[in-house]
Amino acid sequence: MTGRERILALLRREPTDRVPISTYEFSVFGTWGWPKDEPSYQPLMAEITEKTDAFALWGAYTPASPNDVPTESETWQEGEFTVTRTTVHTPKGPLYTTSKFTPNVKTTWTVEHFCKDEEDAERYLSIPFHPMPVDASEFPKLDAEVGDRGIVLCDTGDAIGYVAPLFEFGEFTIMAMTRPELIRALCDQAHARIMHNLRGMLEAGCGPFYRIWGPEYCTPPYLPPGAFKEFVVPYVTEMIELIHSYGCWARIHSHGHTRRVLDMIVETGADAIDPIEPPPDGDIPMGEVKQRYGDRLILFGNMELKYLETETPADIDARVKVMMDEAKAGGGYVLMPTAGPLNIPLAPRTADNYRAFIAAGLKYGVY
């Protein structure tokens, strides 16, 4: 089977020749493709492209963020960091956010959040929403580039995925418990933008698979399951109902402790879940997830990135075998790391372990 045939059969719950293998964001394809011009990544990326099944992350972002009001940014250097401070002029007054970036690590740190208090949240709520056409013109180009190697994985946040980062995370958890009506108002605002964007993607023929990120902000121990019920379930359920109405599938992305919210994830109508972190990073073993939910959820993941960064190829081979023993039977499993490497250059140990991960997947994943 080609990668595309294998993935589509997986989504239809049809037999496949082997367990699909994904390296998640670590791909030459998609919005989240890893450093394509970084020499230390090139040999491994070539092997990933040849031997794994591509889920190329991409999204047409008409954002749930302040694009409808005057905005200005200034950027400067602080040592190795590029610092950017953005000012948003809302109808109720200005909001500020500051971020830092270094070229040696593929991530961005927010060091000042838009909402420091309730007054800032009210300012954010005053931002008007003027729907704009959704630009999905890049989708067919990426789909053609991926070809038979896999599919494009359409990517979107849910309401809480956009609302929680407006605050410093500790402040968000306090606000969710003490001012839930304010968080709901922010979620309602974000959800309107998200649904407009999602509908535009679907109407443009983007699919057949969608990843929804954000629910992990409302998982224990950060917040009790009731918060997940309030701030995730109704919004994600509506998103998935829309996705299903276009004949597409939806995957929930949620790191960390998911045991106490898995029933609610199923309740949303989700077709799949990732990355199913093993204990102690997660709180439920893969085998138990498979036993309890394997007939309703396609399972992605279970290989922690830290293992790929710190262990030996023999360790990785053994871990993959256990994952296959726990989740391979009956289909509905994709072998996948929980994240992709962030460091530049790529560490040789990490590269060797990714090769062991792929080789073990090909060895133990055959049906």
How many folded domains does the chain comprise?
Answer: 2
CB contact at 8 A, 215 and 274: no
Amino acid type, 337:
P
Mark whether 139 and 123 lie in a shared domain: no
Q: What is the pLDDT of residue 197?
A: 94
pLDDT single digits (tens) 235-244: 999 999 999 9
Q: 153 with 242, same domain?
A: yes
CATH at 317: 3.20.20.210
Q: By residue range, what is the domain housing residue 357?
A: 3-67+134-364
Confidence at residue 224, expressed as pLDDT on a 0 to 100 scale: 97
The pLDDT of residue 148 is 98
Q: Are residues 180 and 298 in the same domain?
A: yes
Supply the pLDDT for residue 320.
Answer: 98
Are 123 and 242 in the same domain? no
User: What is the model's pTM?
Assistant: 0.96
Picking from 128, 148, 172, the residue at the C-terminal end of a domain is 128
Judgement on whether residues 119 and 172 belong to the same structural domain of the protein? no
Same domain, 259 and 338: yes
Q: With beta carbons less than 8 A apart as the criterion, state whether 30 and 58 touch.
A: yes
Task: Report pLDDT for 66.
Answer: 59
Are residues 11 and 123 located together in one domain of the fold? no
Give residue 105's pLDDT: 81
Residues in the chain, pLDDT under 50: none
pLDDT score for 68: 72
Residues 6+ apart with CB under 8 A from 311: 319, 353
Both 237 and 271 in one domain: the answer is: yes
Same domain, 118 and 220: no
User: Which pLDDT value is given to residue 118?
Assistant: 97
224/90 same-domain check: no
In 117-232, where does DSSP find H-type helix?
118-125, 138-146, 159-163, 169-178, 180-203, 225-231
What pLDDT, on the 0 to 100 scale, is given for residue 78?
A: 95
Whether residues 7 and 109 fall in one domain = no
Are residue 90 and residue 208 in the same domain, yes or no?
Answer: no
